[in-house]
Structure 1
Amino acid sequence: MTVETAERIGTAAQAREVARRLAAEFAVHAGWRDRERELPYEEIERLAASGLLAVTVPADLGGADLPPSAVAEVVRILATADPNIAQIPHSHFVYVNLLRLAGSDEQRRRYLGRVLDGGRIANAQSERSGATVAEVGTTIRPAGSRFRVDGVKYYCTGSLFADVLAVLARLDDPDEISGLAPGEYIAYLPAQSPGVRIIDDWNGMGQRTTGSGTVSFDGVEVDADQLVPRSSAVRAPTGYGAFAQLLHVAIDAGIARGALTAAAEFVRTKSRPWFEAGVDRAVDDPLLIQRFGELSVTVTAAEATLTAAAAAVDAAIAVPSTGAEAVRPEENSQASTLAPSPNGEPADPVAAASLAVAAAKILADRAANEVSTALFEVSGTRSAAADLNLHQFWRNARTHTLHDPVRWKYHHLGRALLHDTPPPLHGVI
């Protein structure tokens, strides 16, 4: 599935320009793809060939090494056109970041070299069998000179389009030969490996073409050098989780902007004015103008907060990680105080980034759901015609915003303010 060659992007400005060009192309048939559930194989090929999926590859490996803020803007731009396509590479960027943070030099060269050539990584992380989403039932076990992976994963976004699957699994009983410690690992394995079964069974009401189905692993053999320990990135103050959550914010902000744009276009071209307004065109109805102003503020606030959170994540990853030893095992939380230093900078940039992203996610969640609902309010009865498929915005917003409940983000923000308590390090703040 990998493209033969991929373009190289060198700057954030170039990345934005390429994203805008692709977004304009992807938007043309986005509604049709959603209605027919036509999976965007061709579009993902073009996305990979454009070089956008390689923009975070480190400079020492030939990549642009662009910061999180640049990636978030690319994702937001794509999401205004088709949030399905914007979500598909989410895990790709996350697991490229894991390799940057926790992979060996050889692993970084091997997998990130493939990414530079257009390779795509997808996640196989979530499970349904545990009492909570945090439990990992998929296992890695020694099998002779190799290991075997067994388990079933769900919501594996992008798996239908991937070359490599990043599989979250648990190693309980390593042998002495491997030299690996017990714990959670990400196994990077070819999507076509024997024993891998990728099932196109995602039936969500929204984000219908993200390829977020089931993947099963039945005695899939891997070598030790395909395993990357997860704890040094996830359970240490590295900014890993803040970066992953930032991209979710970008998707929601993009949905909100896309819905507002669609609503404005519909009102300009198709809506009739309410008779009491005494105007000839819907766009001249003063109450409608007022409502669009309110929605514009909602979307602009979400976008501005995304920008601020992205800057905070940029600052966090610029700080050298102190590694796994920084974890507080008794609390699994960031240890330093949240009070700013004398120069006004946060004493703990990673904690500050997590909190900034949490606030941004709350506003983007609110904007995506409010604006995609208000689209019908401002557009009138004609907009409810099923063949127009304008409900795709609400379905996409409602489905994607189920990621990582915002009620817990409020909780962590409140604890930080009242108790000076840093957020936990589980990676989904």
Structure 2
Amino acid sequence: MTAQAQHLPSLTTSIDYATLATRFRPIFARIAEGAVARERERALPYEQIQWLKEAGFGAVRVPVEHGGAGASLPQLFQLLIELAEADSNITQALRGHFAFVEDRLNAQVSGSQAVWFKRFVEGDLVGCAWTEVGAVKIGDVITRVSRQGEQWVVNGTKYYSTGSLYSDWIDLFARRDDTGADVIAAIRTQQPGVRQSDDWDGFGQRTTGSGTSVFENARVEEENIIDFATRFKYQTAFYQLVLLAVLVGSGRAALRDFSAEVGKRTRVFSHGNAPSTRQDPQILQVIGKASGLVYASEAATLRAAQAAQAAYLAHFTDDAETERQANIAAELESAQAQVVAVELVLRATSDLFNTLGASGTSTAKQLDRHWRNARTASSHNPVIYKERIIGDWHVNGTEPPYVWQIGGAKQG
């Protein structure tokens, strides 16, 4: 048995979900209380994310022996769905953090792994900064890590730096000047060389902290420069699962809010079916159908999370082919769940407006935020390409891609 295999039980032990969720649900409820006001005022949830940090939410996947909760991936994503129901922006803001945690879980058992586990348990959060825009071409990386005297520094500009405004560290994708290798640089945010902006202008998910990050000779310790080739293999499936949690949570929140509005509505239409809206069978049908759509989306998401958990476990075996097949399944199942959730949640968050009159569009209620947030989350990792990838697997047995980028088209 390898050292990795011996360490495996501590990494995958799951606690009772009810116990785990009970620990965080009071915080989720507090977060939900101010969600409408934050949406209306575009107020960033610094305080709310601090509550989660102090409660150890960022360490739920850390092994129990290192001070974390030892949660499985299905448990993590169930928690993220509950958090997204309270405020879907916060779940997405934590996307980079949990991906970096997952990478450290998959890393070789070492002193540096224990250092990161300690940081997570103490409340440190990690944002992300991968995407470049402008002149960068597909496959290129403009951001550079280079040696400057006795230290390493990073220079470059990143966009869509989700969650970085709330984070202690940034998981940054860059290229080494000396070797040309692609790397992850884990950079401390609190230093003069890092400048962050809240300039994300999307019509949904507006408080995710997804703005521009500029790095000007930002220092990075050599031990925090990680070869990208060692990144955990099911990472694209993992990132997609976080977005699915955002979608499902948005659907659950819409169902909750529209049901409450229907329950207290006093006005009826002359051509309706009952003396009160809450008794109108057509209105109840709309609510019931939306509930089913959201339920199916959540079921698909949690099924895909099981495939990701299997890929995680397979990493600690000595069977390369078993791990490869598990990674294929994780990627395909996350894509299949994406196809389902995008269509069903968008339909539910739109159709629910049929339960109310024009008053349902009141900006005071902010009911439209659920559709806007779902539509924005659905626009990441375009579902049309995922549908093609799934079809190519079924027809031609083509293995899905595990890493992909966006950038300008190369000429010629």
Q: Which amino acid aligns with 1:73?
A: Q
Give per-residue Cα distances to partners, 1:330-349, cap 9 Å, x unaligned: xxxxxx6xxxxxxxx99812
Q: Which of 159, 166, 181 is the equivalent residue of 1:161?
A: 166
> For residue 209 of structure 1, what is the aligned residue in structure 2?
207
TM-score by length of 2: 0.88
Shift of 1:252: 0.6
Deviation at 1:133, TM superposition (A): 6.7
1:18 pairs with one of 9, 23, 26: 23
1:317 pairs with 2:317: no
Match for 1:173 among 160, 174, 178? 178
SS, match of residue 380 in structure 2: coil
Helix, strand or coil at the partner of 2:61: coil
Deviation at 1:101, TM superposition (A): 2.5
Relative to structure 1, is the Cα distance of residues 229 and 31 closer, same or farther in structure 2, using a 3 angstrom cutoff?
same
Q: Select 1:127's aligned residue among 119, 129, 132.
A: 132
Determine whether 1:350 maps to 2:311: no
Runs of 4+ in structure 1 off by over 6 angstroms are none
Partner of 2:367: 390
1:380 paired with 2:385, answer no
Could you tell me which amino acid in structure 1 is paired with residue 149 of structure 2?
G
Would you say the 8 A contact 1:271–1:379 is kept in 2? no
- Which of residues 98, 111, 132 is equivalent to 1:106? 111
> Counterparts of 1:19 and 1:357 in 2: how far apart (Å)?
26
Aligned to 1:413: 390
Cα shift at 1:54: 0.2
Amino acid at match of 1:100: L
Match of 1:294 among 289, 303, 314: 289
Alpha-carbon distance, 1:89 to partner: 1.1
* One of 276, 279, 286 as aligned partner of 2:274: 279
SS of the aligned residue for 2:373 comes to helix
| Matching of residue 49 in structure 1 with residue 54 in structure 2 | yes
Aligned counterparts of 2:283 and 2:324: Cα–Cα separation in 1? 46
Contact 1:246/1:357 (<8 A) preserved: yes
Q: Counterparts of 1:317 and 1:170 in 2: how far apart (Å)?
A: 27
- Offset at 1:207? 1.2
- 1:10 Cα deviation after fit: 5.8
How far apart in 1 are the matches of 2:15 and 2:295?
28
Q: CA RMSD in A?
A: 2.4
Matches of 2:268 and 2:102, distance apart in 1: 51
**Alpha-carbon offset, residue 110 of structure 1:** 2.1
Q: Percent identity?
A: 33
Change (3 A) 1:346 1:192: closer
Q: Which residue of 1 aligns with 2:9?
A: none
Alpha carbons of 1:304 and 1:91: their partners in 2 closer, same or farther (altered >3 Å)?
same
Q: How far 1:360 moved relative to its partner?
A: 0.9
Following superposition, the deviation at residue 427 of structure 1 comes to 6.5
Q: Distance in 1 between matches of 2:141 and 2:63?
A: 30
CA spacing shift, 1:133–1:39, aligned 2, 3 Å: farther
The aligned length equals 392
Q: Give the letter for the 2:226 counterpart.
A: V
Structure 1 unmatched ranges of 5 or more: 1-8, 175-181, 327-335, 337-344
Give the Cα–Cα distance (whole angstroms) in 1 for the partners of residues 330 and 391 of structure 2: 15
Q: Aligned equivalents of 1:231 and 1:60: distance in 2? A: 28
Cα separation, partners in 2 of 1:36 and 1:103, compared to 1, 3 Å: farther
Show the counterpart of 1:191.
189
Distance 1:160 1:145, change over 3 A: same
Residue 103 of structure 1 deviates from its aligned partner by 6.5
Matches within 5 A, 1:24-173: 24-102=29-107, 105-130=110-135, 135-173=140-178
C-alpha spacing 1:293/1:11, structure 2 compared with 1 (3 Å): closer
Match of 2:219 among 218, 221, 224: 221
Output the CA distance in 2 between the equivalents of 1:427 and 1:68: 23
C-alpha contact 1:79 1:251 (8 A) present in aligned 2 = yes
- Give 1:140 deviation, angstroms: 0.9
Pick closer, same or farther for the CA change 1:415–1:244 going to 2, 3 Å. Answer: same
Task: Answer yes or no: is the 8 Å Cα contact 2:146–2:176 preserved in 1.
Answer: yes
Match of 1:252 in 2: 247
Q: CA deviation at 1:138?
A: 0.6
Deviates more, 1:281-290 or 1:116-125: 281-290
Instruction: Using the TM superposition, name which of 95-104 and 68-77 deviates more.
Output: 95-104
CA shift at 1:99, angstroms? 2.2
User: Which segments of 5 or more consecutive residues in structure 2 lack a partner in the other structure?
Assistant: 1-13, 406-412
C-alpha contact (below 8 Å) 1:256/1:364 kept by paired residues: no
Q: What do residues 265-311 of structure 1 show as CA deviations (whole Å, max 9, x unaligned)?
A: 11111263332234111122222222222222211110111121111
Alpha-carbon deviation of 1:13? 3.2
Q: Which amino acid aligns with 2:262?
A: V
Deviation (angstroms), 1:45: 0.7
Partner AA of 1:417 in structure 2: H
**What amino acid maps onto 2:215 in structure 1?**
F
Is contact 2:58–2:125 with CA below 8 Å preserved after alignment?
A: yes
Instruction: Tell me the distance in 2 between the aligned counterparts of 1:271 and 1:362.
Output: 38
Contact kept? 2:107, 2:113, Cα under 8 Å: no
Is the partner of 1:301 in helix, strand or coil? Answer: helix
Q: Which moved more, 1:247-256 or 1:60-69?
A: 60-69
2-side partners of 1:28 and 1:210: how far apart? 18
1:267 aligns with 2:262: yes
Distance (Å, rounded) in 1 between the aligned partners of 2:241 and 2:219 = 34
Determine helix, strand or coil for the equivalent of 1:205.
coil
Select the structure that is richer in helix: 2
Q: Counterparts of 1:198 and 1:15 in 2: how far apart (Å)?
A: 34
